[in-house]
Structures are given as C-alpha cells and as structure tokens.
C-alpha cells in the first residue's frame, strides 16, 4: 500500500485518529516563522515585524479555535459532532460559512465538488488498508448516503440524512488561510505569506516584490493579495501502484478519470481556490474548467497539465 503524507491524512480523516501535531517557531530579529498543522496539513506563516512572535501566537490561537470547529481530526470539533449525530443545533458561523462556500462551488461545478463524499473516502481508505478496492455494490450502497441536496444549512441547525458525513478536505485548509489573513489584516498588518497547504498572500513581500510561487505544473507566478491552490489527482493514492487517486467522483464513486496531473488556480479567496482546484480535477476539458471559473470574479487558471 502506498502511504504518502496526504495519503496518511486521508486515512486519518476517515477514522478521526490523527493526533494534534506539535508546533514549532523560529525567530530571528524581527522575522518569525511558525510551522505546525492546520486541518491535518503542514502549515506555516512567515512574518517580518517587531512584534512577530506575539502576532504568531495570536495566529496559532486562531488556528486552534478554527480546528475545534472545522477539523475531522478532532473528535469533539463541531464538524465531527455533526457527522456523528447527523445534525448540529446553533452551528458556529465559521462552519456555516465554509459549507456555504462549498455549496457555491458545488453549484458552479455542476455537482462535481461535493462535501458529502466523506463516506466514500472512508470506504476507499478502509478497503485500501485491507489491500483491496471497493466492489461496485459497496460503492453503490455508499453513494446512497451522499448528495449535497440532502444537507440543510440554517443558522438554527445543520441537518443531513442518516449515515451521511461531510468533509472539508477540499476547502477547509484554504478557509483557515482566509480567516488568518482577515485577522492579521484587521490588525493593520501586511506583507505576510500564509501556507496552510494552500497559499494566501496578504500583500506582497516585505521588500516590495510579489511572493514568488513555483507551480507544480511548471512555471511560476507572483502572488500579491491573492490565494493559490493546487490539486493533483494522483498526488495522494489509495493503492500501492499509485493508480487510485484521492479525488473521488461524486457521481461514480470512483477516483477521477480526468487526464490532469496537476491543476493550480488563483483567486481572491483561498477557500474558493482550494475547492475550485478539486472540482477542476474532475473535469476532462479546459473549457469546462474555464466556464466554472467565470462564476467567481478574479478566479484564474494558472496551470493545467
């Protein structure tokens, strides 16, 4: 069985077993780099400011707060409780907002982006651990417990049908980056690069240049006051041979058959860019991707290989 960093996270997401990782911080003069975990992925924040260490501490507290709402890796998070109980009264604003953004991408992508595929992830992860693949009947049965239309979002409660479960793996990391950026901007800060698995630039570099981003599909771009997300269908695989990718088609219940090796999209929101790249990996034609992006002002396809 092929175990990569993201592969391990996918299995852990399915069974909510990933422990909270230790965090580390390095300071040099007015520069401070924090590294740790956010939504189960590597995260880092680079700050150049006289009060960098105190600012980073506030950011760490905010990430911790958001994980208590959005994380599949914490058994007592709001999302985990929703998945266990099928409903959540008076849901936190952040969970409602993140799911609302996911719903917008669901509509724009013709249903290709679907947060309700968590039971499918669990099925593929469980069978991969046994060295097999899900059989068609098992996939069909689990598909009966998916479908964004079966989820009701309301300030009073979030509800879904029995046996369903949600994942924010396709948007949560970007959402955390957006919230951290909003908090720092409210403090009057800029020239910060946030990396939660997706990138969010708050301004440019301290020297006035754009943040240089190397694209996995080749080439580079400069990032300033924007977000960049990348998805690779085979970047994480369920099987030892590396052929069953982690991006599952919500219609067929199987890994995407689209031809892309990697897709990078930039947007004003990291959560939106994150979700759009996942949806794009399920589209076989660049024209379909462009049509989806046109529904989000400022979204741009940076690489598609």
Q: Looking at the structure, give the CATH architecture of the domain made up of residues 5-304.
A: Roll (3.10)
Q: How far apart are CA 20 and CA 12, in angstroms?
A: 12
Q: How far apart are CA 113 and CA 106, in angstroms?
A: 5
DSSP 185: H
Quick: pLDDT tens for 106-147.
999 999 999 999 999 999 999 999 999 999 999 999 999 999
CB 45 within 8 A of CB 63: no
With CA atoms as reference, report the closest residue to 252 among 146, 165, 164.
Answer: 146
Instruction: Please return the burial class of 29, using the count of CB atoms within 10 Å of its CB with bins 0-12, 13-18 and 19+.
Output: exposed
Dihedral sign (CA 160, 162, 168, 170): negative
Q: Token pair for residue 198?
A: 């997706």
Q: How far apart are CA 213 and CA 253, in angstroms?
A: 33
DSSP 237: B
Q: How far apart are CA 95 and CA 97, in angstroms?
A: 5
pLDDT at 69: 97
**Which residues does residue 229 pair with via DSSP β-bridges, in sequence order?**
265
**Residue ranges in the chain modelled with pLDDT below 70:** 1-31
pLDDT at 98: 97
């Amino acid at each position: 069985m092929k175990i990569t960093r993201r592969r391990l996270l996918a299995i852990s997401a399915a069974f909510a077993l990933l422990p909270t990782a230790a965090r580390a911080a390095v300071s040099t003069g007015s520069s401070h780099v924090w590294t740790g975990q956010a939504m189960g992925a590597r995260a880092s924040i680079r700050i150049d400011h006289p009060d960098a260490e105190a600012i980073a501490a506030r950011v760490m507290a905010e990430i911790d707060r958001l994980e208590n709402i959005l994380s599949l890796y914490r058994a007592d998070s709001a999302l985990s409780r929703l998945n266990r109980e099928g409903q959540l009264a008076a849901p936190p604003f952040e969970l409602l907002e993140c799911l609302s953004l996911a719903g917008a991408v669901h509509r724009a992508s013709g249903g290709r982006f679907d947060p309700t595929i968590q039971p499918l992830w669990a099925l593929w992860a469980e069978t991969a651990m046994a060295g097999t693949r899900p059989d068609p009947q098992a996939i069909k049965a689990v598909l009966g417990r998916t479908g964004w239309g079966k989820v009701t979002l309301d300030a009073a409660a979030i509800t879904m049908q029995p046996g369903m479960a949600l994942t924010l793996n396709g948007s949560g990391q970007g959402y955390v980056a957006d919230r951290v950026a909003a908090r720092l901007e409210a403090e009057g800060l800029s020239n910060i690069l946030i990396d939660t698995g997706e990138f969010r630039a708050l301004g440019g570099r301290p020297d006035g240049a754009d943040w240089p981003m190397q694209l996995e599909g080749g080439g580079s771009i400069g990032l300033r006051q924007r977000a960049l997300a990348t998805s690779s269908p085979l970047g994480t695989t369920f099987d030892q041979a590396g052929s069953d990718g982690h991006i599952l088609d919500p219609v067929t219940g199987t890994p995407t058959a689209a031809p892309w090796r990697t897709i990078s999209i930039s947007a004003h929101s990291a959560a939106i860019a994150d979700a759009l790249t996942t949806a794009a990996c399920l589209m076989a034609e660049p024209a379909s991707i462009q049509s989806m992006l046109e529904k989000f002002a400022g979204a741009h396809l940076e690489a598609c290989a």
